[in-house]
Amino acid sequence: MQERIASPAKTIEILQANDFQFAKKFGQNFLIDLHVLDKIVRSAQIGPEDVCVEIGPGIGSLTQVLAENADQVIAVEIDGRLIPILEKNLADYPNVTLIHQDFLKLDLQAKLDEMNVTRPIKVIANLPYYITTPIIMGLYESGIPLAGMTVMVQEEVARRMQAGPGSKDYGALSLAVQYYAEAKIAAFVPQNCFMPRPNVGSAVIQLTSHVDKPVKVNNEKLMFALIKAAFGQRRKTLVNSVSNSPELSFEKAQVIAALQKLQLSEQIRGEALTLAQFAAMANELEEA
């Protein structure tokens, strides 16, 4: 086993040797806790068959551990100053492919095709928090075969992804994520596990992709538009939030009729509906 990049002493040595200043705009909070790295690898159940895609490798702290456990690692980093550091730190790991690009602009499927990767990938990352949701939802909506995602996010966001109806954390993100995956918080990670320390607590969330979608919905777009409308006006009844939504064109009577068919109260708020009920509402309203 090689010396760990993520130890506090080694991280400081690398940062000083390269005169590296953190760029706030890129959400740079490097992991300096070896137990957390271990937890991520164990939660993702990374084995010698796996192809991992890492978003934002930083100086390679997590990349190194992934490379030692997986078949291949594709690491995508936006900050050009980190590329020579990564090349040097990961020189002993021929199974790492470094890509210097904004992950949000990368055609990942094209890259996977170019590398002849056919099996579902595992996405692993200590995410830059300013783009957590676009990264996760972008990956799901891309249709790229995913075995799972194991990602460090703000604690509050992890709670939202895992929440169900009745919880104050339940919202559009909970439903969007749970449509694609089973969400489970694998670890809470305190601020002192990072350099520099972030302002908020973090958590590792394990998103294990569903083999079959948990609900049958004929029009996904409509279901997500209903969810967006329901939580955009959280304190209103579903009838009002859906019929007032500028993105939807349903009359109050249509929404009431759909609710009646599902034996739900006219007074119900969106925050009380399960994913299955949103899917059923979408199916009813589509017919309408």
Where along the sequence are the contacts to ligand SAM (CB under 6 A)? 26-31, 55-58, 61-62, 76-79, 82, 102-104, 126, 128, 131
Long-range contacts of 216-222 (CB under 8 A, 24+ apart): 216/279, 216/283, 217/279, 217/282, 217/283, 218/282, 218/283, 218/286, 219/282, 219/283, 219/286, 220/179, 222/282, 222/285, 222/286
Q: How far is the CB of 158 from ligand SAM (least distance, A)?
A: 14
Q: How far is the CB of 288 from ligand SAM (least distance, A)?
A: 41
- If phi over 0 gives left and psi between -120 and 50 gives alpha, with beta otherwise, what is residue 146? beta
Q: Looking at beta carbons only, is 191 or 218 nearer to ligand SAM?
A: 191
Of the two residues 64 and 283, which places its CB atom closer to ligand SAM in the complex? 64
Of the pair 108, 273, the CB lying nearest ligand SAM is at 108
Q: Are 202 and 189 in contact (CB under 8 A)?
A: yes
Question: Closest residue to ligand SAM, Cβ-based?
Answer: 56
Q: Which is nearer to ligand SAM, 65 or 259 (CB)?
A: 65
- Give the C-alpha distances (Å, rounded to integers) separating 226 from 13, 92, 117, 244, 279: 51, 50, 36, 11, 9
CB of 57 to ligand SAM, least distance (A): 5
**Minimum distance of ligand SAM from residue 22's CB (angstroms):** 9
Closest to ligand SAM by CB, 127 or 279: 127
**Least distance in Å: CB of 180 to ligand SAM?**
21
